[in-house]
Structure 1
């Protein structure tokens, strides 16, 4: 346990690192168009800037427990901060797309380690009674990071050039590296741990993990761009992901010293339930952050910065809720009660915001629904995390933290992939469904076309050109209505998915008093 000034310096350091890692999952999204122009890349090619980071993340996160034991947690964390910082600088210096993709992968290797290892450091920093507060501070980074990424990215893109979305990491990374070296210490169990000889390391497990999870992440990131299973590359990587994941599960369940001990899932029913709920959380968190900016920018004409500022209050609401929820957990409020409340609040957010999607919607229409979203996510994340890890000891807790982190990231990837595919295909279907209501035999339609035509003629267009402009205007109105219907369906679908998962809470076992004490052995 740490106390006083050192304790809070450690908290600041690891929370900053979590923020850096997760901000970088979404900050580049608003800069992709600018990158396409500056690096002479197509939309399909530039999507690799996002995909490479996500692939590296999901590969590294489940291995952090092993790597921390092998090299020492402080050394591993320090190295990861340095790697992330240097890769960020290199990303900004990239002169072509594939340089940038390579450095983004390296950045993801460092970033994935920051998130899981930060959680372990906080577990060791706080005494058992204050553990929910430590997890609350970690949760602030997890929930706020992906949400404020577009805010920061939008501001940078509007006022500077795209390399600055990477350069902003450098001073924070340098500060985090200095604080890590000066203040973070390894607990005795890690200091006294004997590294495994190279020949005893589970190289087969590492290879299968990279093959299975890396291929799956590739499919999720690139599937929509490549038209899913109509593309032979996606089919190939889908097969590789199945082979890799099945082989990885078999290997980790039978190996004497697995790189990721999946047997920990059989030791705690709460962990198994929590892993699935973490997937649901990642699905809702990343999918909602993905779909909302697309709607506001493409349909309502908001700038990237406007959209980012609109998301910011909800992110701050999550951050505000975390310490409150931590104190509630310390006082004994059961996770089994808080999780369904959080899911229900998120469900209410999705239906509320779906009702606010109109052609004339403004920033004030979305303010309170997004605040509600922030509160709901706060009530979901912390209870799931503490419930999943409570009662586990030593390496088991470290393995559990890595697994839930990876599953949360995969949930986000599934969410973005499914929502992106649904948007692409349902907009066309909804357009076809609305077309019968727009017919030249419909009096309301002909009156609207005549009104548009007269308006364009009044502005100097000849009759034929005015009529073509009228048809184009009517098509624009149709597509805006189609988009509103489709985005509304996405949000309501997210809400129904969340509410359908509430019965899983019945599987949660109430932790015995003092069970959380064992968490201090994590990693």
Structure 2
């Protein structure tokens, strides 16, 4: 779980430090965002091929090499003296981090007996779910009180601990043989996957900023991603030793679980971005107060994850997942009813309800998705599952930022229709503000222009708030729709056990 936690932390911990990095390294606004994008791109490429790399090198050796590379590159990121060097080391860090999530999950699933796999997924979820929550909070605290370099240096002692623990306790099971000498390298498949995922990640990360398909480079990268990834699917299905074995999707529980995970993290990760943004930009919360809202939810998740893991041994995991989806939908629906006058307790309550829902979502879903996967295919299946989870988060962030901008424009256009001298409410408000301005600045001040500006700022704030509520509502409906889809998954064996022949 430790390698998973530090890897996911690094997908978001640098977000809040970009301004400090920009000033320290004399970089432009567009240039410094590559500190985030470079990591996500290399990470996305390595995750799906981690199963193949574990066969090539041996899973234990691959995991240890990944931890070592991630730890070393983290130290080099902190020591970087130029933006170019930092971006290069972030690429290497993403390569090292790509195998940490899927290998950790595969090892946990195989180490625990089948009737305890729900608990294993609860342990894994502590890293996978807590990472996106702790990242911005930890990054902000370190940056404000120390230096942005320490957001990378902090990985070094944790990485060394993770390497030593895995070296001491992890061994490859007998059925996982190192087959590097017997397997050729599927160069065509590797090339199409790398180019396709790299292009897709850049599109998702830069699309809203560059106005999507209005920008030629976004359009070209989108076409390239589509062609490469579609071509990759057809190519891999015809290979004897594919880089990524897509035949695992023949299991309907695995296929459905991946769809639910993609859509669930699509909505969940988007809301993790939205709520702090809403509190800080519209409610005037400081970064610390936004952290106060998010922090208790993390503690609640830590309490509920082991409980849900234990429940998978006694209750149909599909029912637990159904509860998680309903609670998640309810929390987002509650957020869609916010107003600009809510107090701190209301925001904390909504976030805490969401935390309970995510605990009931992630653990049963991971257990159900992997319930019928043979042990020897667990590395490959785990790699695909983690890739789609990460892509769901990337798509979710791109979706919410785009929808937020579009809905803000829509509501602003509709509200402006009422800003007319013929509208009595507008005229009354304008006169009141003009009188207040005159009392404060004197009769000779341009009270009309000042009052109109005040009303316009209020209008922009209200339009933005209405857009936030629309996006929260859309995410709630997505969780609600998944309630029907999840019943396609097969009923897990009683007590969490694997049926005969399951291996």
What is the TM-score normalised by the length of structure 2?
0.95
The answer to whether the 8 Å contact 1:219/1:237 transfers is: yes
- TM-superposed CA distance for 1:311, in Å, is 0.8
Question: Is the counterpart of residue 342 in structure 1 residue 324 in structure 2?
Answer: yes
Cα distance, 1:381–1:28 mapped onto 2, change above 3 Å: same
2:16 to 25, 30, 36: 30
Relative to structure 1, the CA distance from residue 142 to residue 519 in structure 2 (aligned partners, 3 Å threshold; closer, same or farther) is farther
| Residues 33-432 of structure 1 aligned to structure 2 (within 5 Å) | 33-190=19-176, 192-197=177-182, 200-266=184-250, 268-331=251-314, 333-356=315-338, 358-432=339-413
CA shift, 1:137, in A, is: 0.4
User: What's the counterpart of residue 4 of structure 1?
Assistant: none
Instruction: Work out the CA distance in 2 between the residues paired with 1:181 and 1:346.
Output: 38
Q: 1:389 and 1:519, CA in 2 relative to 1: closer, same or farther beyond 3 A?
A: farther
Residue 5 of structure 1 aligns with which residue?
none
Native 8 Å contact 2:493 2:499 kept in 1: no
Return closer, same or farther for 1:108/1:448 CA change in 2, 3 Å cut-off: same
Structure-1 separation of matches of 2:143 and 2:267: 26
Q: 1:409 to 1:516 in 2, by over 3 A?
A: farther
Distance across 1 between alignment mates of 2:500 and 2:199: 32
d(CA) in 2 for partners of 1:516, 1:412: 31
Instruction: State the partner residue of 1:480.
Output: 461
Q: How much has 1:44 moved relative to structure 2?
A: 2.4
Distance 2:172 2:2 in 1: 19
User: What's the CA shift string for 1:426-449, capped at 9, x where partnerless?
Assistant: 211210111122222223222322
Once the 2 structures are TM-superposed, how far is the Cα of residue 520 of structure 1 from its aligned partner? 13
CA distance in 1, matches of 2:461, 2:444: 26
Query: What stretches of structure 1 of length at least 5 have no aligned partner?
Result: 1-14
Classify the secondary structure of the residue corresponding to 2:304: helix
Tell me, yes or no, if structure 1 residue 506 matches structure 2 residue 487: yes
CA contact (8 A) 2:324 2:357 kept: yes
User: Within 2, Cα distance between the matches of 1:23 and 1:421?
Assistant: 24
Task: State the secondary structure of the residue aligned to 2:97.
Answer: helix
In structure 1, the partner of 2:474 is 493
Distance 1:521 1:461 in 2: 83
Which TM-score applies when normalising by structure 1?
A: 0.92
Contact 2:372 2:502 in 1 (8 A): no
Report the equivalent of 1:463.
444
Instruction: Provide closer, same or farther for how the CA distance between residues 153 and 521 of structure 1 changes in structure 2, counting only shifts above 3 A.
Output: farther
In 2, Cα distance between equivalents of 1:521 and 1:111: 31
The 3 A distance-change label for structure 1 pair 175 and 256 is: same
Does the residue aligned with 2:105 lie in a helix, a strand or coil? helix
- CA shift, 1:270, in A, is 0.3
- Could you tell me whether the CA contact under 8 Å between 2:117 and 2:496 is conserved in 1? no
Per-residue CA distance 1:33-85 (angstroms, 9 max, x = gap): 22233333333222222222221222111111111121122211111111111
Number of aligned residue pairs: 503
Q: Distance in 2 between matches of 1:30 and 1:92?
A: 15
Cα shift at 1:514: 7.7
Secondary structure of 2:180's match?
coil
Q: CA deviation at 1:466?
A: 3.8
CA contact (8 A) 2:5 2:127 kept: yes
Cα pair distance change 1:160/1:471, threshold 3 Å: farther
- Are the aligned partners of 1:349 and 1:372 in contact in 2 as well (CA < 8 Å)? yes
CA distance in 2 between counterparts of 1:296 and 1:35 reads 24
* 8 Å contact kept, 1:152–1:308: no
464-473 or 402-411: bigger deviation: 464-473
Cα distance per residue 1:403-424 (max 9 Å; x no partner):
1110111111111111111112
Take 2:206 and 2:253, find their aligned partners in 1: how far apart are those partners? 33
| Offset, 1:465 | 3.8
Conservation of the 8 A alpha-carbon contact between 1:151 and 1:309:
no
SS at match of 1:260: coil
> Residue by residue, what CA displacement relative to the aligned partner does 1:147-173 show, whole Å, maximum 9, x if unpaired?
111111221232222222212212111
Structure 2 gap segments, 5+ residues each: none
Q: Give the secondary structure class of the aligned counterpart of 1:495.
A: helix
Q: Which moved more, 1:40-49 or 1:131-140?
A: 40-49
C-alpha deviations, 1:325-363, integer Å up to 9, x for none? 1111112x112212221111111101111212x223332
- Residue 489 of structure 1 and its aligned partner are, at CA, apart by 0.3
